[in-house]
């Protein structure tokens, strides 16, 4: 029990607790995704995402029959009242049909109070 006395376990537990509180609820996160896009935009979909403090990470997948290049994920950051705080973009590279790619975005300070997100995915189709 000596390891409990030095405070390392308590500190570790506290950090884990803070991270758990700061990470978005998956049920809430699913609600934040915008309505299904139409046409070619439907072929590129943000499958999932999660927030870790000041970083937003996610995965985009190409469900289309063609390859997509220069994929850009546009993220709108929304407050509790669904007011747009700001918009940021992140590149996800190129994807062949059926492929998926991870992306990571450092959240700008003005967008950090966001409680939900909307996504648009843009690309050049081949």
Dihedrals phi, psi of 77, to nearest 5 degrees: -100, 125
Q: Report the percent of the chain where pLDDT is more than 70.
A: 67
Give the start-to-end residue ranges of the domains of the chain.
25-125
pLDDT at 104: 98
pLDDT at 37: 42
Name the β-bridge partners of 62: 44
pLDDT at 75: 98
Which one is the CATH code of 25-125: 3.40.190.80, 2.60.40.10, 2.60.40.1180, 3.40.50.300? 2.60.40.10
- Report the alpha-carbon distance of residue 27 to residue 40 in Å, rounded: 27
Going by pLDDT thresholds of 50, 70 and 90, the confidence category of residue 26 is very low
**Which residue has tokens 């999932």?**
48
Q: pLDDT digits over 82-108, tens only?
A: 999 999 999 999 999 999 999 999 999
More confident residue, 9 or 66: 66
């Amino acid at each position: 029990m000596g390891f409990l006395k030095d405070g390392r376990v308590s500190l570790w537990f506290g950090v884990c607790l803070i991270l758990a509180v700061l990470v978005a609820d998956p049920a809430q996160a699913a609600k934040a995704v915008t309505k299904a896009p139409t046409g070619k935009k439907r072929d590129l979909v943000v499958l999932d995402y999660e927030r870790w403090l000041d970083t937003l990470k996610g995965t985009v997948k190409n469900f289309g029959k063609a390859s997509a290049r220069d994929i850009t994920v546009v993220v709108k950051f929304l407050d509790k009242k669904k007011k747009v705080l700001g918009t940021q973009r992140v590149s996800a590279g190129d994807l062949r049909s059926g492929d998926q790619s991870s992306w990571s975005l450092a959240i700008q300070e003005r967008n950090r109070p966001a409680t939900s997100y909307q996504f648009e995915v843009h690309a050049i189709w081949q």
